[in-house]
Amino acid sequence: VPELNESTAHEWMRKMENSDGTRGPHWNMEQIRSIMEKHGIREDPIKFQVAMNATYSDLSEVFKKLGINNIDAYISFAKAFWLDDQDAVKDKLASYYEYVVKH
């Protein structure tokens, strides 16, 4: 599986159909960089942007229902599920894109 690059990331986010009925990324790169700086996050900004937007896309309505629809919940989930999953393949985002999103 090729590593997730900026072009693929933008294509993926542009096509997101979010659970709240919107389309495309919820957070743009400027917002993501601000979040990363404010919270001391040291990740690849492109991968973090995709992880945050994929989390929002699929789970925003669940987070609202559970009363956890806040930036800390999105950061925690995005990091734990997408970026820091120790028993997952090396680039989980790239694999997910290749084997789920593209198809």
Tens of pLDDT, residue by residue over 42-91, are 999 999 999 999 999 999 999 999 999 999 999 999 999 999 999 999 99
Q: Which residues pair with 17 in a beta bridge?
A: 23
pTM: predicted TM-score of the whole model, two decimal places:
0.95
The answer as to whether 1 is a domain residue is no
Q: End-to-end CA distance of the chain: give it in Å, rounded.
A: 14
One-letter amino acid identity for 14?
R
Residue pair 20/61 in contact by the 8 Å Cβ criterion: yes
Of residues 101, 100, 89, 103, the one with CA closest to residue 3: 89
The answer as to whether 13 is a domain residue is yes
The answer as to whether 63 is a domain residue is yes
**Residue 77, domain extent:** 6-101
The answer as to whether 91 is a domain residue is yes
Is residue 1's pLDDT more than 80? no
The answer as to whether 46 is a domain residue is yes
Residue 10, both tokens: 């933008």
What pLDDT, on the 0 to 100 scale, is given for residue 84?
Answer: 96
The answer as to whether 95 is a domain residue is yes
